[in-house]
Structure 1
């Protein structure tokens, strides 16, 4: 089957009641859950997913940018598309597109990934495991998630503790848990973003105390998460 815009993998989902805000719109973190799920399904289908654990390798999401045109609602049927978008230096890029049941684009996302050795945590070249027909190392996308720097005035702070439900298969905080923290933090000031860019800077573990800080600059808001003096993520929302 030919997929639009040179995407390489697709999967359908339906928005459940447990995935939406009280207003019926899907939560940004739950949309990110779907992106993560289709990324793993695609990687597993082409033998560069969970099988890498056999050679002590794993993918780590480094940066993610999500742009929502229209929030899907409870009961909406979605078709997600994903595909490799080349590599540059140590980053491998993956793009996503989300259709509603009328085949209208409701969201797009771009992500950059690092390949790590599970024991040494050393970064490895992605072309060692990626099929070149999916991730051409000679091509990198024009749209790449940005490296973020916090700016603006500090306007709010909150301290949270990493719980068991925040963790992934590697016992680190799941990348979508950070987005859920950001959503909950911003909801307290009645702000619901349509765009989020996030840089994952360092691992978080069960029991860590994370200080979330909100900085405001013009129409942008930045959220930084720190454990002690260590910055673990930075996000920008619009």
Structure 2
């Protein structure tokens, strides 16, 4: 067996059972829980490949998730067993690319995703060139066949808006707003009636600026098309965009 491949596996997987606290009232996995899965297995694999959080910290660098795009063919249900697979896919400019797939117990692919990450210098918060990462033995496989999309600012006809302050439960170990909180905030702009009739078939997230403790936040939702909506999450004081999300919907 190739020692390099054994020590630095191209793929990493987890088989897990969907818990009751990870599903909605339809007993389907929530998008928030799905994004938690993706982020956690990405951290875990990066650690195994020796460029995890603690490895980069020694260099004075840190990982930042920039973009994610998810295609949902079917959301798993409570107690269902699924297998999550991830792999780094190479680089595109300053972005490090990582893909994901989720399979049910019959081997059917039910979710596919791609993500784009930045490595920033702790002192300057400027991107680190990807040269250090580009010679890894990447898998020749793409979950979606393209990189995560960049979203543009939507038209100015909001159908929902709210304002609130960042709370202590929103803050992660880096003392910024946890990435998944943005998905949660956006998801909560929809009514229970909406989720009785629709489920997400596509989710795109662009993380543009970090949210911090005591920030005041505005969350605004726009109808982008009959089956699409865009959510803008901004700093209420500076109006700077923190996160932009697109949801594609299909009827239940």
TM-score by length of 2: 0.85
The range that moved more, 179-188 or 201-210, is 179-188
Aligned length: 232
Pick one of 38, 42, 62 that aligns with 2:45. 42
Report the structure number with the largest CA radius of gyration.
Answer: 2
Aligned structure 1 segments of 4 or more residues deviating by more than 3 angstroms:
none
Is residue 29 of structure 1 aligned with residue 32 of structure 2? yes
Against the structure 1 CA distance between its residues 188 and 154, is the aligned structure 2 distance closer, same or farther, given a 3 Å change threshold? Answer: farther
How far 1:172 moved relative to its partner? 0.9
Partner of 2:190: 186
Is residue 170 of structure 1 aligned with residue 174 of structure 2? yes
Q: Deviations over 1:112-138 (max 9, x none)?
A: 0001011210100123246521389xx
Partner of 1:149: 152
Against the structure 1 CA distance between its residues 47 and 123, is the aligned structure 2 distance closer, same or farther, given a 3 Å change threshold? Answer: same
SS of equivalent residue, structure 1 residue 146: coil
How far 1:226 moved relative to its partner? 0.7
How far 1:203 moved relative to its partner? 0.3
Q: Deviations over 1:17-69 (max 9, x none)?
A: 11110110011010110011110110000101122112111110000011111
Is residue 113 of structure 1 aligned with residue 82 of structure 2? no
Asked whether the 8 Å contact 1:87–1:135 carries over to 2, the reply is no
Asked whether the 8 Å contact 1:48–1:130 carries over to 2, the reply is no
SS of equivalent residue, structure 1 residue 170: coil
Against the structure 1 CA distance between its residues 11 and 179, is the aligned structure 2 distance closer, same or farther, given a 3 Å change threshold? Answer: same
Matches within 5 A, 1:87-236: 87-129=91-133, 132-134=136-138, 142-152=145-155, 153-187=157-191, 190-191=194-195, 192-219=199-226, 220-227=228-235, 228=237, 229-236=239-246
Asked whether the 8 Å contact 1:200–1:234 carries over to 2, the reply is yes
Alpha-carbon distance between aligned partners in 2 of 1:28 and 1:20, rounded to the nearest angstrom:
9
Alpha-carbon distance between aligned partners in 1 of 2:80 and 2:182, rounded to the nearest angstrom:
25
Alignment gaps of 5+ in structure 2: none
Q: Deviations over 1:116-164 (max 9, x none)?
A: 011210100123246521389xx9x841111111324211101132222
Alpha-carbon distance between aligned partners in 2 of 1:74 and 1:169, rounded to the nearest angstrom:
29
Alpha-carbon distance between aligned partners in 1 of 2:167 and 2:150, rounded to the nearest angstrom:
28
Alpha-carbon distance between aligned partners in 2 of 1:211 and 1:40, rounded to the nearest angstrom:
29
Alignment gaps of 5+ in structure 1: none
Partner of 1:8: 11
Against the structure 1 CA distance between its residues 116 and 125, is the aligned structure 2 distance closer, same or farther, given a 3 Å change threshold? Answer: same
